[in-house]
Structure formats: C-alpha cells, structure tokens
Amino acid sequence: MKIDPPNEGDRQQASPENLEKMWKFVRRFAEKSGSYLHPQPEITEYLVIGLAKHIDEVGRPLCPCNFYEDKAEEAKSSTWICPCEEMQKYKYCH
C-alpha cells in the first residue's frame, strides 16, 4: 500500500530544531542498535514528525503510534518514550 509523503503542513507541526534532532536520533539509533526503520520512507518521516511534535508538546519523544489520554503523564514513564519497549524488543519501528 502506497501512502502520500508528508507535506509542508505536516512538517510544520513540529519545530525545525526538534525535527532535525529526531532525524539524527532515529538514524543513529538504527545504526547502533541493529534495528530497522520502516521500509517505506514516508512512514519513517511521519514517525519523526510525531516524535518531534511530542518533544515540543511534552518535552519527551513519545511514540506517535499510540493514543495517550494524558500525554504529560505518559511522558513521565519510559514505556512509550522512543525507542519504545516494542522497538527495543522487536528491533523494528512500526
């Protein structure tokens, strides 16, 4: 299934500084940990945007693939902070 790539409006949901920070993080983490980014680059970019947006909102890179009733409270735990427990276990990002 092909998805549309993120557009400028999508990218503007997060600060340029945190977007850059998260791109560096995901690339470095994949390289060092032996994990894999999604084979569709569009999915990875949406993920990076979501991580950066959460840093802007709550100060931590919460996994954007999940719903949180209270993001600020969830940010206090480490369960869904990137790399989340699923990523660490399966070595693959959604």
Q: For 18-47, how does the pLDDT look when each residue is reduced to its tens digit (9 = 90+)?
A: 999 999 999 999 999 888 888 899 999 999
pLDDT digits (tens, 9 = 90+) for 46-55: 999 999 999 9
Catalytic residue, chosen from 65, 82, 84, 93, is: 65
Confidence band for 94, pLDDT divided at 50, 70 and 90: low
Residue 1: other Cβ atoms inside 10 A = 3
Walk me through the domains of the chain, giving residue ranges and CATH numbers.
14-90 (3.90.460.10)
**Residue 65 known to be catalytic:** yes
Confidence band for 14, pLDDT divided at 50, 70 and 90: very high
Say if pTM beats, i.e. exceeds, 0.75. yes
